[in-house]
Amino acid sequence: MKKSIYDTPIFFERYQQLRENPISMNEVVEKPTMFSLLPDLTDKKVLDLGCGTGVHLAHYLELGASKVVGLDLSELMLKQAESDLAKNWQKSTAFSLHCLPMEQLNKIPEDNFDVVTSSFAFHYIEDFADLLAKISAKMTACGTLIFSQEHPIVTCYKDGYRWEKNEQKQQVAYRLNYYRDEGERDRSWFQQAFKTYHRTMATICNQLIQAGFEIVQVEEPMLAEQPQWHNEFKDLQHRPPLLFIKAIKKN
């Protein structure tokens, strides 16, 4: 089984530092938007794909979910998640965790999920259509799928300069040279190489529709109207870093 980049010690450490930062894209953009899309979770069974350290799972339990299940490829992430969740909830009755890639979702014993979520992870998936089929098979009729991922205008980047800048070095335009060129992207973070996958907005939406989902809400949050964050997140005034989609399984 493939290993998670997040199990590299420096990668996990830096990730934890980012998560603990109260002024981060995760806290300012991702979590508020993701949580605003949630349906009523009272007595619902929820699956979180790429659950990381279980922050979202804990929130779902606080909102009244009867059972939450987390799946992640990172052993370090799940170890932290289990430790944190066990402080307030009993394992097996309230939560369960599986160390598996999302592509092997069909191997977990739980099914009939009312809600499936995934934060900032689907851009790691090569075969999105196959994943959607496996998600649908694990859901109840009329279940809700909510996910965020890197926005396609971000994932399209291949090489060269991401931004066009003026003489004052200010960002004035984001380059989309390779937007229509779907497929694998080589990435690096903290000098650690990893891969993500680019799909156009049309491909993402069409594959959801073909998998039997009805798209009911799309969000592309930016900070143009939140001047308090402009110095901290200069580039988010011009383009959305994340794409959020809420969809309902038709049957």
- 43-94: pLDDT as tens digits: 999 999 999 999 999 999 999 999 999 999 999 889 999 999 999 998 778 9
Q: Average model confidence (pLDDT) for the chain?
A: 88
Point out which residues pair with 242 in neighbouring strands.
Answer: 150
pLDDT at 230: 46
| pTM, 2 dp | 0.89
Sequence-distant (≥ 6) Cβ neighbours of residue 87 within 8 angstroms: none
Looking at residue 165, what is its pLDDT? 85
* 2 vs 75: CA distance, rounded Å: 12
Q: In 3D, which of 3, 7, 52 has the Cα closest to residue 30?
A: 52
CB atoms within 10 A of CB 166: 9
- Inter-residue contact 242 to 148 (CB < 8 Å): yes
CA atoms of 131 and 147, how far apart (whole Å): 13
